[in-house]
Amino acid sequence: MNLRADIEVRRRVTPAAVLAALGVMFIAFQLWIFIRWAADGQAHAVSSTPDSISAPHAVVTWMLQAVVLLLAVVFTGIVVRQCRRAGHITFDAALLLGYFLSFWQSPLFNYETVALVVNPHSVNVTTWGPYIPGWDSPRPQDQPETLLGLSGAGFVVLMMWVWIQAWLTGRIARRFPDWTWSRLLPASLLAGLAVDFLIEAIWMNTGFYSYAIAPTALTPLHGHWFGPQLLYYAAVTLFISTAAVVIRHDAQARGTVPYIFCGTQTLGLRLSGTVRLLAGVGLANVLLLAYFVTCVLITHFLG
């Protein structure tokens, strides 16, 4: 009897079930943060900044925000179309929702100190950082959350990193079909690092955001807008994109269900879809949390 019970428990504790449970926990946690933040009257734009920007810079700022919003809408349309064609919730759809429901973590980059500065002339609200346990960054009133920038809709755009790196990884795999992950993974990581380097170089040149830490030996070409913060870039590649690319590529190559969906095959369509979406939320939040914790450690020891 005990053996049967043990087998039944193992059947229920699947990757999808575990990640879905984490997804529920992360959603509840961020609701707790945002409810307290809003109840204290903090859900409003930051006070007008004393400085001003030139008209061309203002145009670029608004154009870039429009691009972020457009990309978020387009990416959402792409995954919805994927789901309709497949007849079920796809990995991309679950991951995109997960990325969006991870934007509550945005203040974590400045968990101890101001390591990232955003353009305060973007659409913004006051930071909810002080409502995250342990958050102790100075002058929170000067750290707006840009809803069409690095917060909010900006987290949906993280799918761009995944899709581009996944495309490059697929090309490499087709070029070298005998490669196992021991060779393909380093190549995918390098491809992802190049993607992040290019995207961040373009974004930083617009004045959308900038890193505020002092340059180190791992900041070549410092003093220039294109001086890369290599450790931060590596964290983006390792946690935000590569883990998702590996899961996605492995499922496509094997023709199997993505690992995070294992356990949903025997569920009904509606319940399966719900569990898959929650699993995507759980996965994305874990990946983003690992990324932000790594960035805080980088800033703490090298910043």
Neighbours of 238 (CB within 10 A): 17
Cβ distance 283 to 240 under 8 Å?
A: no
Q: What torsion, rounded to 10 degrees, do the Cα atoms 110, 113, 116, 121 define?
A: 90
Of 282, 287, 270, 239, give the one whose Cα is nearest residue 97: 282
Q: What angle do CA 28, 32, 35 make, to 5 degrees?
A: 130
3-state DSSP assignment of residue 75 = helix
Q: How confident is the model at residue 52 (pLDDT cuts 50, 70, 90)?
A: confident
**Full-model pTM:** 0.91
pLDDT of residue 7: 42
Tell me the pLDDT tens digit for each residue of 120-141: 888 999 999 999 999 999 999 9
Q: How confident is the model at residue 67 (pLDDT cuts 50, 70, 90)?
A: very high
C-alpha 255/C-alpha 239 separation (Å) is 24
More confident residue, 237 or 270: 237
pLDDT of residue 211: 83
Q: What mean pLDDT do residues 154-168 have?
A: 96
Enter the DSSP assignment of 266.
T
C-alpha 197/C-alpha 124 separation (Å) is 26
Q: Which residues contact 70 (CB under 8 A, 6 or more apart)?
A: none
